[in-house]
Structures are given as structure tokens and as C-alpha cells.
Amino acid sequence: MGLLNFLTGKEKIFSYKIFFDQNNKVAVNIKKEVSTVPTPEYIRLWAFYQAKIIYNLGYPNNLSAIMSLGSLSKIIEKDIDSNTDCFKRANLDDVVQYSDRFISPITKYDGEFFAKGSINRSIKTHFPMQNTEQEVVYSGIALMQYCININKNDKYALDILTNTARNFLALYKDGMGSGISDITQIPQTAYLEAIGALPEE
């Protein structure tokens, strides 16, 4: 643990990498940085990453950011289950395909996910110098697909993912998303509401 993390009480729980190859395939690799990580933490990672890329793209004044939310809306029109193909639901499977296998990357998105206590989470993202806005959008969808695949035998976790994503969209529809604090507030609120653990005001 670095000095800053020690002083702030944060603990790194994941390192993640999202790869794209020259054949329009995308793959995800997530490394646990602590011995035990409950599988819902992968859902929280996705939600924080999704909020971060939407902000970085320039929501609400960027078409790719709006496209990202539109794709998410298509994915969760029906409840997520173990057979859900996110790119197919988003009508993007003719453009990019998710791979569970190792691919030879030409582009890599990576970062770290941190926990502070049982409630607070934060994310660091590192984007490649050479990237496209479309790849940024696809990277969020790929991470969601990873969450589905790793939780495919856990209907409870998949239901949490569905509800987190629906809450996530609702917060944007309510006018959130343009402030830097929303990078944390939107995914945090969406997830806590999904599990029925949102603190009362």
C-alpha cells in the first residue's frame, strides 16, 4: 500500500485492464489485490468505471457519452441473466465482440479500484494516448459483460447488477452527471439503492 493510500485509509482491491485488438475484439482482465473480494464488488467497479467514462467523455454535451447511456438502456430493457450478451443487446455485436480468451492488444485501458470501509469506493483510470470515443464506450460495456460472466451462477448478484444499472440511468435522467462529484455519487447511490442499503437522510 502506498503512503497516500495509507494516510487516507484507502485499500486497493482491484487492478483492471481492458484490451482491444485489431480484429475488433475486447477482453477484460481483473486482478484481485486482496485475498477475498465479494463478487458484488465487481458490480461496483463497473458502475464507478461507467460513471467515470461518461464524465470524461463530456456528458451532457458529448454524443458518445449520450450513446453510452443509450446502449446501457438497451442492455437493461430486460433483466440481466447468465446468457446476456451486452453487445448484442446494445446492437453493437456487428462492430465489436467480447472475448473471454487472451487477445493480442493494440489498445489498453487500465486502472485501480479502491475501498475505504464498507461504503466508500473510488477509481483511478488510465486511458491510452491513442484511443477513440467509441472504444471508451465499448470498454464500459465490456466491463459490464465481465461482471455478468463472473456472476453467471449467482442470480442474486445478477439482479443487483440489473437494479444498479437501472438506478444508474435514473440518476442521469434526474439531472445528475455533469459535476465531478457525480463520478462517485451516481455509482455509489445506484449500488446502495440496489441492495437496499442507502443511508437515510
User: Tens digit of pLDDT per residue, the chain (201 long)?
Assistant: 444 454 457 999 999 999 999 999 999 999 999 999 998 999 999 999 999 999 999 999 999 999 999 999 999 999 999 999 999 999 999 999 999 988 999 999 999 999 998 899 999 999 998 899 999 999 999 999 999 999 999 999 999 999 999 999 999 999 999 999 999 999 999 999 999 987 655
DSSP state of 55: H
Residue 113 lies in domain = 3-194
Asked whether residue 199 is domain-assigned, the answer is: no
> Distance (Å, rounded) from C-alpha 142 to C-alpha 106?
16
Asked whether residue 124 is domain-assigned, the answer is: yes
Phi, psi of 42 (to 5 degrees): -65, -35
Beta-ladder partners of 30? 16
pLDDT in the model for residue 129? 87
Asked whether residue 201 is domain-assigned, the answer is: no
pLDDT in the model for residue 4? 45
pLDDT in the model for residue 130? 86
Q: Which three cell numbers stand for residue 71?
A: 446502449
Please tell me whether residue 21 adopts helix, strand or coil conformation.
Answer: coil
Q: How many domains does the chain have?
A: 1
Asked whether residue 147 is domain-assigned, the answer is: yes
pLDDT in the model for residue 8? 59
Asked whether residue 27 is domain-assigned, the answer is: yes
